[in-house]
Amino acid sequence: MGWIVVQTKSNCEKKASLNLTRQGYKVFFPKIEKTVIKFQKICQLFKPLFPGYIFVSLKDNQSWNKINYTYGVFKILKFNEKLYFLPKNIVDKIKVSCNENEVFKVKKKFRRGQKVKLIKQNYLTLDAVFEEHIDQKRSYVFLEFLKQKIKTKIDTIHLESFV
């Protein structure tokens, strides 16, 4: 048959995904990795790519009635009270952009002149201005030091968009 969209209760995507998997459903729960500083430590958090929603694959003879009664599930999204199946290529395109742990691979793209934050392991965060990508892993940024702008080569993984 195909993929349906299941709306979960607030912050229950992981619970719903786990419980549906235990019931024998094939579940796709894409996540995105975020770098944050908590208690003066750099942490990698995994947040839902689509907060409040997961994808469930249904086979031709598979019952879907018990999905609504699964712990963590709010409801199945329907169209005119009928089960709505997503076009197959939509979920496949998202899956191609995810790794084996269903984490969406985000390519960090910055524009010249964009303000960015430089985050290093020693809890140091500096404001910088993005200049250009050198290759896939490194970039040039301008750091302001003693009222002078210094062009510096930085690993792109340490750069975050300025919010």
**Structural domain of residue 38, as residue ranges?**
2-104
Residue 72, pLDDT score: 96
Query: pLDDT, tens digit, for every residue of 77-123?
Result: 999 988 889 997 899 888 888 888 888 876 667 888 888 888 776 65
Do 34 and 91 lie in a common domain?
A: yes
Are 35 and 86 part of one and the same domain? yes
Number of domains comprising the chain: 2
Q: pTM for the complete prediction?
A: 0.69
Judgement on whether residues 100 and 119 belong to the same structural domain of the protein: no
**Whether 48 and 83 share a structural domain:** yes
Tokens 């985000």 — which residue?
Answer: 106
Element (H, E) at 15: helix 13-22
Q: What order of strands is seen across the sheet that includes strand 159-161?
A: 148-155, 138-145, 125-133, 115-119, 159-161
> Counting beta carbons within 10 angstroms of the beta carbon of residue 41, is it exposed (0 to 12), middle (13 to 18) or buried (19 or more)?
exposed
| CA 158/CA 162 separation, integer angstroms | 12
> 127 and 83, same structural domain?
no
Cβ neighbours, 10 Å, residue 55: 21
9-68 pLDDT, tens digit each: 999 999 999 999 999 999 999 998 877 767 767 677 889 999 999 999 998 788 888 999
